[in-house]
Amino acid sequence: MTGGAGMYDFIIIGGGIVGLSTAYALVQKDPLAKVMIIEKEQQLSLHQTGRNSGVIHSGVYYKPGSLKARMAVKGRTSMVNFCRTHHVAHDVCGKVLVATDREEVARMDALYHRVQQNGVTVSKLSRDELSGFEPHVNGIAALHVPQTGIVDYKKVSEKLADLLRDSGVEFSFGSPVVNIEEGSDLVTIETEEKTFRARFFINCAGLQSDRIVKMTGIHTELQIVPFRGEYYKLTEEKSHFVNSLIYPVPNPDFPFLGVHLTKMMDGSVHAGPNAVLSLKREGYKKTDIQWRDMLEVLTFSGFWKMAGQNMKEGTKEMVRSFNKRHFLKSLQRLVPDIMEQDIVTADAGVRAQAMLRNGRLVDDFYMIPGKRSIHVCNAPSPAATASLEIGKEIAERIPERTSVIVS
Ligand SMILES: Cc1cc2nc3c(=O)[nH]c(=O)nc-3n(C[C@H](O)[C@H](O)[C@H](O)COP(=O)(O)OP(=O)(O)OC[C@H]3O[C@@H](n4cnc5c(N)ncnc54)[C@H](O)[C@@H]3O)c2cc1C
């Protein structure tokens, strides 16, 4: 450890959209607060924030009363307002949730009622009305969600970072946090080269967030299990098959599964993502392995319990990953005109999914309080949509200043 000590009111570990939004909320609340963001990479948002579907979700799927439901609904509005105010390109293009058989119509009707509880307005579409929105879609009925939009979350992050710099927030790039001492008056955070001190810190380390928790000595049985989401994209000539966003009706047992077609801000159309175990937390290729990451998953009892309970769905996802034709079949259920030559491999992302030792996936957003810290330990989709609200929530949860240590 070399380098001098810096002293801050707040240190945020992780320069993804949740970390940036948290810093934004903190300086909105107290413009004089001295804030540092520590990021292990040389750039912001290289992981989940820069590798997702770019959807501004509306809050349709989530359990009424959950943090996800509350924050996605409010977060959608905050995100759209932020983009409008700060001129970040976005498009509130709406989406359709398509039922292709009677069973899916029944699920769609159940979802319609849940959606009302979350305060989201949707309308039911007949086959003909659906064709008006998406002429290439094969569906017998659909829900239309007009509030859903798209944005490039990397661009949102860049704008947030500009605003933060203007407010005096500092950044330390290329600085992986390797050790934390959480005392009763102050926190000491060591990176490979520097030491920082703060009154309070917030762990927004995404795929590494459980490791940061463990550095503080907090006992948790929760572990991050990385699930890669792989995408194809439509060739340019076939991008006109999709006008906005086309989703299947979700299976309530596996709401995060089900490949969809998403128009991106650059005009391309992405198809995916699936969900397969990644043997490297930040592994974006099928062949990526990191021994520590792999061993941690394979020796985690929760993983085997989850795998045993969900063998059928897990196998389907693996087959879809290695066999383009199977992936294509899922897409053709929605848009039958798509042929094998119409899709090409696109960049993948990896989800940080928290899992418990009993094999249960943590469904809601989840934060662990420490003595002088808050740890964001489960912030999967729709956390990019909800990020500005997550930031506000964290700023509210931080105990009021008891002593001023920043000179
Ligand atoms: C395939 C996929 C599709 C998705 N689609 C959507 C979508 O359409 N809409 C939506 O709302 N959400 C979506 N999500 C979810 C969304 O991307 C995430 O919820 C969100 O980006 C989480 O942001 P974050 O800041 O918590 O994590 P990240 O963006 O992963 O940021 C964490 C940061 O912490 C840094 N870090 C880690 N360890 C350390 C350390 N030791 N020291 C210093 N820094 C460290 C990392 O380098 C990283 O920059 C998707 C996610 C995936 C993977």
196 to 44, 62, 182, 208: CA distances (angstroms): 19, 38, 12, 19
For a ligand 1 pocket test, name from 57, 190, 381, 394 the mutation site with the most ligand atoms within 8 angstroms of its C-beta: 381
pLDDT for position 40 = 98
> Which amino acid is present at 255?
P
Pairwise CA distance, residues 282 & 243, whole Å? 32
Is the CB of residue 98 less than 8 Å from the CB of residue 144?
A: no
- Regarding the beta carbon of 192 and ligand 1, being less than 6 Å apart is answered no
Same-domain check for residues 182 and 66:
yes
- Residues 53-106 have pLDDT tens digits of 999 999 988 989 999 999 999 999 999 999 999 999 999 999 999 999 999 999
- Regarding the beta carbon of 389 and ligand 1, being less than 6 Å apart is answered no
- Residues 257-297 have pLDDT tens digits of 778 999 999 999 999 899 999 999 999 999 999 999 999 99
Same-domain check for residues 242 and 388:
no
- Regarding the beta carbon of 206 and ligand 1, being less than 6 Å apart is answered yes
Same-domain check for residues 238 and 341:
yes
Give the list of residues 6+ apart from residue 279 with CB closer than 8 angstroms, or none.
288, 289, 290, 293, 294, 297
Q: Which atom of ligand 1 is nearest to the CA of 272?
A: 1
- Regarding the beta carbon of 40 and ligand 1, being less than 6 Å apart is answered yes
* Helix ranges (DSSP H) in 311-363: 311-322, 324-334
pLDDT for position 401 = 55
- Regarding the beta carbon of 13 and ligand 1, being less than 6 Å apart is answered yes
Q: Give which of 2, 92, 29 is closest to 56, Cα–Cα.
A: 92
Same-domain check for residues 261 and 367:
no
Same-domain check for residues 351 and 388:
no
Same-domain check for residues 262 and 319:
yes
- Regarding the beta carbon of 351 and ligand 1, being less than 6 Å apart is answered yes
Give the list of residues 6+ apart from residue 200 with CB closer than 8 angstroms, or none.
9, 10, 11, 187, 372, 373, 374, 398
Give the list of residues 6+ apart from residue 316 with CB closer than 8 angstroms, or none.
none
Same-domain check for residues 104 and 212:
no
Same-domain check for residues 50 and 157:
yes
> Which amino acid is present at 32?
L
User: Rg of the chain over CA atoms, in angstroms?
Assistant: 21
What b-and-e string marks burial along 201-237, b requiring 16 or more CB atoms within 10 Å of the CB? bbbbbbbbbbbbbebbebeeebbbbbbbbbbbbbeee
Domain that holds residue 302: 225-361
What SS3 state is found at 312?
Answer: helix
What SS3 state is found at 41?
Answer: coil
Widest distance between CA atoms in the chain: 67
- Regarding the beta carbon of 149 and ligand 1, being less than 6 Å apart is answered no
Q: Determine the distance separating the centroid of ligand 1 and the alpha carbon of 34, expressed in angstroms.
A: 24
CATH number at residue 278: 3.30.9
Residue ranges with strand state E in 129-240: 141-145, 149-151, 170-172, 177-182, 187-191, 195-203, 223-234
Q: Determine the distance separating the centroid of ligand 1 and the alpha carbon of 16, expressed in angstroms.
A: 6
Q: Which atom of ligand 1 is nearest to the CA of 384?
A: 11
Same-domain check for residues 279 and 177:
no
Domain count, the chain: 3
Q: How many helices (H) and strands (E) does the chain have?
A: 11, 20
Strands of the sheet containing 55-56, edge to edge, are 55-56, 149-151, 90-91
Q: Determine the distance separating the centroid of ligand 1 and the alpha carbon of 18, expressed in angstroms.
A: 8
- Regarding the beta carbon of 49 and ligand 1, being less than 6 Å apart is answered yes
Pairwise CA distance, residues 396 & 280, whole Å? 34
Q: Which atom of ligand 1 is nearest to the CA of 38?
A: 43
- Regarding the beta carbon of 57 and ligand 1, being less than 6 Å apart is answered yes
Residue nearest to atom 35 of ligand 1 (CA): 14
Pairwise CA distance, residues 14 & 252, whole Å? 32
CATH number at residue 53: 3.50.50.60
What SS3 state is found at 331?
Answer: helix
Is the CB of residue 180 less than 8 Å from the CB of residue 187?
A: yes
Looking at 361, 383, 399, the residue that finishes a domain is 361
Pairwise CA distance, residues 45 & 156, whole Å? 10
Q: Which atom of ligand 1 is nearest to the CA of 204?
A: 26
Q: Which residues of the chain have pLDDT under 70?
A: 1-5, 255-256, 401-407
Residue nearest to atom 2 of ligand 1 (CA): 52
Is the CB of residue 124 less than 8 Å from the CB of residue 230?
A: no
Is the CB of residue 171 less than 8 Å from the CB of residue 158?
A: no
Give ∠ CA 177-183-189 in degrees, rounded to 5.
15
Pairwise CA distance, residues 189 & 178, whole Å? 8
pLDDT for position 5 = 60
Same-domain check for residues 123 and 27:
no
Same-domain check for residues 195 and 240:
no
The residue with tokens 């299976």 is 251
> Which amino acid is present at 131?
S
- Regarding the beta carbon of 256 and ligand 1, being less than 6 Å apart is answered no
Same-domain check for residues 100 and 192:
no
